[in-house]
Amino acid sequence: MKMFKLFGVLFFCGLLTPSQEVLPGLSCAVSPGAMRNVLSGAILQNGLLQQHLQSLVLPNIMDEGGLLNAPISITGLHLVKAQFPELSVMLLPGIGVQMTIAAKLELRGNGLLGLLPEIIDIIADMSITANIKCTNYESGTVQVVIEDCLCIFGAIKVKLLSGLLSLSINDLVHNQLAGTLPGLLCSVINVVVNLVNIQLLGTLNAVIPVGTAGTIQYQLASLPFTSGLFLGLDLDGAVQQVGGSIIPHDSSSSALPPLMDKLLVLGLRQSFLNAAVSLIIQKQSQTFICMPEAFSGAKQLREAVMTLVAARCSSCPRTDPLSIEIAFSGNPLFLLEVKKATINLSVMIQLFIQRLDGSVLSLLLLKADLGLSVRFSITGRRLLLAPSLSSIALSLESSDVGISNISSLKPHCRTLLVEKFLPLLNGLLSVGIPLPNVLGIPFINADVQISAGLLAIFV
Ligand SMILES: *[C@@H]1O[C@H](CO)[C@@H](O)[C@H](O)[C@H]1NC(C)=O
Ligand SMILES: *[C@@H]1O[C@H](CO)[C@@H](O)[C@H](O)[C@H]1NC(C)=O
């Protein structure tokens, strides 16, 4: 058997409860049932264990015989078929993941009983129990070790082609297999578990694009830990602009809600979401001419502006087309409260006249502080945000023509923002926030729960 020394992975494990001061952006709890599905899929259903058992080399079984017995030898013993009716998982606090696989192995060999050649079939039922523990966390990776691997034999049936079977053969086979098989099987389990860990961490530690705006790099933040009820994983999510720097986030304490009867709960902290939303909402602007077809309040807004201009500036042009530029200002502020998510966002609205000679007369620069309430949904592995406008506070930043009272513009500016800005914002947010691939568990029928500082996704 090739010895594998693998660094690189994993997910189950040991003693530590996270005690670091800065909380990672994301935390999750995985139920024993989900771990069973994950391991059973990765080890049994895809044939990984089966495949690695093919190379099992079983030692010959020999008995020199004695006064009463003829010598016996069984050579060329090999695996014909392996079945694994069941895989079960228990999470042991402070130890790791205890995995038990029920196995039925069918072996075949060439027997020589005295001078009689025989084909010998052996059917062995057993269960293999191994404690899987992680150690040596280093930049997103951990090493996996198998502790206390144990094989418990159930029935062992020996069949000879001739049908002649003596008790001594049965005992001999039983004793020899009980001595050799556990070591062989446990080293296969060790190899397989290491491969599975590499595969799972390879999907967990990943850089995922966020539309064209940038990326989120997910990485295991510390050694996984087990309580009796769940396997806990903390993840870092580094949010980075394309060709730019990482948008920092520092997480406030916010504990995961209890898993209840769910498979998985993934918690995203407010500051992480804030960084992700800041990435998605790039500093964009849109400029257009305030013509009646531009939006439904365009005519009224133009009239209200021109009335204010006329009152202040008799020499100002009044018939030239009015242009509008809407631009993001500052960073969005994401706030999670019990059952409520809001984004505060500021935009600048510039109203100006572009003269034929190309010169620009800035009439008004307004600032709109928007309160957006956000609803969430999950599609595939993405968190989608649907904002709707809940409040607008409009203020005057400056006016080159001396306008100071803008209260007559407020209702029209609201229409402007609803019709021209919100669709732009929705378009940007439609890329969604890519979620980490937690052990391949799909987000099917996911529920979203919002509490102070934390968004929890239950599957
Ligand atoms: C967000 O905006 C609302 C209304 O504009 C305001 O009351 C609230 O204080 C703002 N929240 C934060 C955290 O600034
Ligand atoms: C601003 O204009 C509105 C009418 O458009 C008026 O009712 C209000 O009193 C004015 N405010 C000030 C501070 O002049």
Mutate to test the pocket of ligand 2, among 303, 399, 405 (most ligand atoms within 8 A of CB): 405
Residues for the chain: how many in total? 459
The per-residue pLDDT string of the chain (459 residues; one tens digit each, 9 = 90 and over) reads 333 333 333 334 433 344 445 678 999 999 999 999 999 999 999 999 999 999 888 999 988 877 667 788 899 999 999 999 999 999 999 889 999 999 999 999 998 887 788 899 999 999 999 999 999 999 999 999 999 999 999 988 998 877 766 777 888 899 999 999 999 999 999 999 999 999 999 999 999 999 999 999 999 999 999 998 999 999 999 999 998 889 988 877 788 999 999 999 999 999 999 999 999 987 788 899 998 889 999 999 999 999 999 998 888 877 888 999 999 998 899 999 999 999 999 999 999 998 888 888 899 999 999 999 999 999 999 999 999 999 999 999 999 999 999 999 999 999 999 999 999 999 999 999 999 999 999 999 999 999 999 999 999
Ligand 1 pocket, residue 369 CB under 6 Å: yes
Q: Name the residue with the closest Cα to ligand 1, atom 12.
A: 344
CATH architecture of the domain 4-15+33-204 equals Super Roll (3.15)
**Which atom, in ligand 1's list, is nearest to the CA of 369?**
5
CATH architecture of the domain 279-433 equals Super Roll (3.15)
Condensed to tens digits (0 to 9), the pLDDT of residues 71-101 reads 888 999 999 999 999 999 999 998 899 999 9
Q: Give 371 Cα–ligand 1 centroid separation in angstroms.
A: 7
Q: Name the residue with the closest Cα to ligand 2, atom 5.
A: 408
Nearest ligand for residue 405 CA: 2
Ligand 1 pocket, residue 391 CB under 6 Å: yes
Q: How far apart are CA 225 and CA 456, in angstroms?
A: 19
Q: How far apart are CA 401 and CA 403, in angstroms?
A: 6
Where in the chain are the domains?
A: 4-15+33-204, 279-433
Ligand 1 pocket, residue 426 CB under 6 Å: no
Q: Give 184 Cα–ligand 2 centroid separation in angstroms.
A: 88
Q: How far apart are CA 5 and CA 191, in angstroms?
A: 9
Condensed to tens digits (0 to 9), the pLDDT of residues 364-383 reads 999 999 999 999 999 999 99
- β-strand partners of 268: 26, 455
Q: How far apart are CA 176 and CA 90, in angstroms?
A: 30
Instruction: Choose among 227, 153, 161, 147: nearest CA to 189.
Output: 147
**Which atom, in ligand 1's list, is nearest to the CA of 393?**
5
- Say whether 390 sits in a helix, a strand or coil: strand
Q: Name the residue with the closest Cα to ligand 2, atom 14.
A: 405
Question: How much is the pLDDT for 300?
Answer: 94
Tokens of 338: 């019990």
Question: How much is the pLDDT for 358?
Answer: 83
Q: How far apart are CA 208 and CA 202, in angstroms?
A: 12
3-state SS, 296-333, equals CCHHHHHHHHHHHHHHHCCCCCCCCCEEEEEEEEEEEE
Q: How far apart are CA 206 and CA 437, in angstroms?
A: 8
Question: How much is the pLDDT for 120?
Answer: 92
Ligand 1 pocket, residue 330 CB under 6 Å: no
Asked if 457 contacts 435 with a C-beta cutoff of 8 angstroms, the reply is yes
Question: How much is the pLDDT for 67?
Answer: 67
